[in-house]
């Protein structure tokens, strides 16, 4: 079963898209916890960070670079980056995603 993020990536569900490239998509969180709350989602479905392989190193690094670029684009002077890992770590959607939270 595809995650909601896969459905957004495949344009089956609408979302407010801030950025998209061949590796990831950046969308606005529908339940923001900060004035700026973006989700940086890889197009490759990986359930949790615990499921990432060594081969995913470049992809995971790309997510951080995209987060940096989004911070610059939005003129943020500081922000938080957060991965929730596994249900005990607060993860609700099992398709990894990096939260960017700022004001």
- Please list the active-site residues: 97
Backbone φ/ψ region at 86: left (φ over 0), alpha (ψ -120 to 50), beta: left
In b/e form, how buried is each residue of 50-60, taking b as 16+ CB within 10 angstroms? eebeeebeebe
- Note whether 99 and 39 are within 8 A (CB): yes
Between CA 22 and CA 31, with CA 26 as vertex, the angle to 5 degrees is 155
């Amino acid at each position: 079963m595809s995650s909601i993020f896969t459905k957004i990536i495949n344009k089956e569900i609408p979302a407010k898209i801030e950025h998209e490239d061949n590796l990831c998509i950046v969308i606005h969180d529908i339940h923001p916890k900060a004035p700026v709350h973006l989700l940086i989602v890889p197009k490759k479905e990986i359930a949790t960070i615990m499921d990432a392989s060594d081969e995913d190193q470049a992809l995971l690094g790309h997510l951080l670079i995209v987060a940096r670029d989004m911070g610059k684009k939005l003129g943020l002077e500081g922000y938080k980056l957060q991965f929730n890992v596994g249900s005990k770590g607060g993860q609700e959607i099992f398709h990894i995603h990096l939260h960017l939270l700022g004001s």
